[in-house]
Amino acid sequence: MPIKVSIVEDDRETLQSLTRLLGGAPNVQCLKSYSRGEDALTGVPVEKPDVLLVDINLPGISGIECVGALKSKLPNLRVLMLTSYQDSDRIFDSLRAGASGYLLKKSGYAELLQAIEQIHEGGAPMSMQVARQVVEHFHQIQKATSEVEQLTAREQEILALLAKGCINKEISDQLGISVNTVSTHLQHIYEKLHVQSRTAAAAKFLSRG
């Protein structure tokens, strides 16, 4: 049975190219295309494709918002983001929304077809540049976790409150220690985490995952 594919893409030239390419693939059946996420929210649950290709930059709701809404209705839907964006924020927002793969539009025809087959079989295909960012992100999480674990229990308490936005006086009141003691602990925390500010320290604490 061919893999049933639908597309959410607002650029007419890109959409025509995708439709033509997929239409010529023997193992793919191109069902329908949508230029707006709102239209996809109505049509996709009816036609129920095996794989949905989604662009991020759409008029109205974004492709990421569209994916999140569709996955709440169709949890088994396989979504492949097909976009020009390769910044980490959009990559992880897409994956958190429920996308299973992330392919750059500059990918070749063979890579696209392979990604559709992989995602249909339960894989998580990604362009090489995207996969590298994902790996580096988790390396950073491991590093941040390791550094935070080196802090004393008291330092971790202070860092947790700092990450919640507490100022030194609030931290001292909650922990029953002086403001000067809080300041001393913060200096030790900065040194151990190799940061220079409250914001950077809080970011490392929160980036542990």
Say if residue 203's pLDDT is above 80.
yes
Residue 34, φ and ψ in degrees, nearest 5: -135, 140
Averaged over 103-113, what is the pLDDT? 89
Q: Which fold is adopted by the domain 3-126?
A: Rossmann fold (3.40.50)
Quote the mean pLDDT of the chain. Answer: 89
Closest of 171, 27, 19, 149 to residue 82, by C-alpha:
19
Determine what percent of the chain is predicted with pLDDT higher than 90.
58
Question: Buried b vs exposed e over 10-31: b needs ≥16 C-beta within 10 Å?
Answer: beeeebeebbeebeebeebbbb
Domains of the chain by residue range: 3-126, 150-206
Residue 55: what pLDDT?
95
pLDDT score of 120: 93
pLDDT at 32: 92
Distance of alpha carbon 86 from the chain centroid: 11
pLDDT, one tens digit per residue, over 5-63 is: 999 999 999 999 999 989 888 899 999 999 999 999 999 999 999 999 999 999 999 99
Structure confidence at residue 139 (pLDDT): 61
pLDDT tens, residue by residue, 47-78:
999 999 999 999 999 999 999 999 999 999 99
| 135: confidence class by pLDDT, cuts 50, 70, 90 | low
Give mean pLDDT, residues 183-188.
Answer: 94
**Residues 200, 206, 209: CA angle, nearest 5 degrees:** 135
Fold of 150-206: Arc Repressor Mutant, subunit A (1.10.10)
Token digits for 41?
Answer: 């929210």
